[in-house]
Amino acid sequence: MLSILDRYFLRELAAGIVATAIVLLVIFAGGAFAGVLQKVANGSIQPSIMFEVLGLQMLDLLSTLLPMAAFLGTLIALGRMYRESEMHVLASSGMGPRGMLRPVTLLAVLATILVGVLSLWAGPWSARKADQVIAAANKSVIAAGLDAGRFTELPGKGGIIFVDTLSRDGTVLGKTFLATDRVDSDGNPQVRVVNAKHGQMYQESNGQDRFLALYDGWQFEIPLGGDNWRRMKYVRNDVSLSNISDDDDDTDPAHESTTVDLFKAGTADALGELVSRFAAPVSTLVLMMMVLPMSRQAPRDARYGRLLVAVLSYFLYVVWQLIARTQIIKGRLHTSVPIWVLHIIVFAVAAWFFWKQNAPRRVKDAA
């Protein structure tokens, strides 16, 4: 049964965590949205699925965002209570270290469970789902920028295309007109004009190259400045569309794999990904332990002095994990023991400082 003080602490700490999470979510969403917009601009993603992909990416980022939000939110909430002398009043009323430790531990356990679910299951699922949504959309000519009833420029091709009708999924075309610039074997510029009664889009097995299969039409090759036009009637004519380009090749097969598959893989990439997934919930516990000694401050202390020290400590803690993970992926480190040792050391040091701050002090004998 929670006491009144427990409920008060939980309410204050939860409010701080939620507020911090919202701010971090906006910051992370801005960066993710910029990346999605870049992919829309270079033709990797069609605009109609932009927000769906963004939502899936944000779900994947929550396993990184929530430990930071729990750490900073709890730090800010406890720091405010110290500055406003609430903690000193509660201590003088008989509340010992356990009175603060109990609600913080409860929040830490809940946050750890939530981060564990996101890191081990929801995050990889959202990454796989985002790639599936993009792959399904790229099977449509809509992803190449085509739309029925208007002329559309082909990126990088120096030409235009027009279709009068388009199927709902964007794979079947009605009457089609296509004009492109090209250079013949003699180096002379020419215009190629193609019309067709109908067409269909398909992709190569690599999922990158897109083609239009045009049926029952004519192809005209018109040299600029010459009169030797060529006309050809065809039954089928395959035309290449712009390739799906992605300057930021951020696909990570290991990250998209399930946790069970990673255990079975046994590769360096799989071990690095497993370490990253299990480190997220463990880091949440360690960070919540770090909050307890770092949040303590006197009413006259600088408002953001401890916050700067805490943020620096957080980044040092995360950077050391990233360095160890990189060494594992590169094959220079064949075990995850150093990362777990790091977690244990940081947790133990934070617990020792918290105990030291709240240990009973000996009263000096009067001289």
**DSSP structure string for 165-179:** -B-TTS-EE-SEEEE
For position 84, what pLDDT does the model report? 82
The model's pLDDT over 207-218, given as tens digits with 9 standing for 90+, comes to 556 788 899 999
d(CA 72, CA 67): 9
For position 180, what pLDDT does the model report? 86
Higher pLDDT: 19 or 365? It is: 19
Strand, coil or helix: 140: coil
Higher pLDDT: 137 or 201? It is: 201
Which residues neighbour 40 within 8 Å (Cβ) at sequence distance 6 or greater? 46, 47, 50
d(CA 336, CA 316): 18
Higher pLDDT: 130 or 47? It is: 130
Average pLDDT over residues 327-341: 90
Higher pLDDT: 201 or 277? It is: 277
**Predicted confidence (pLDDT) at residue 243 exceeds the cutoff of 60:** no
The model's pLDDT over 228-240, given as tens digits with 9 standing for 90+, comes to 888 999 999 988 7
Helices 305-329 and 268-294 cross at an angle (nearest 10°) of 160
Confidence of residue 246 (pLDDT cuts 50, 70, 90): very low
The model's pLDDT over 71-105, given as tens digits with 9 standing for 90+, comes to 999 999 988 888 888 877 877 777 766 778 888 99
- Backbone φ and ψ for 79, nearest 5 degrees, come out as -60, -40
For position 154, what pLDDT does the model report? 66
Which residues neighbour 136 within 8 Å (Cβ) at sequence distance 6 or greater? none
User: What amino acid occupies position 215?
Assistant: Y
Burial label for 231, CB within 10 Å (0-12, 13-18, 19+), is exposed
For position 157, what pLDDT does the model report? 55
For position 247, what pLDDT does the model report? 45
Determine what percent of the chain is predicted with pLDDT higher than 70.
Answer: 86
Average pLDDT over residues 167-191: 83
214, β-bridge pairs: 199, 237
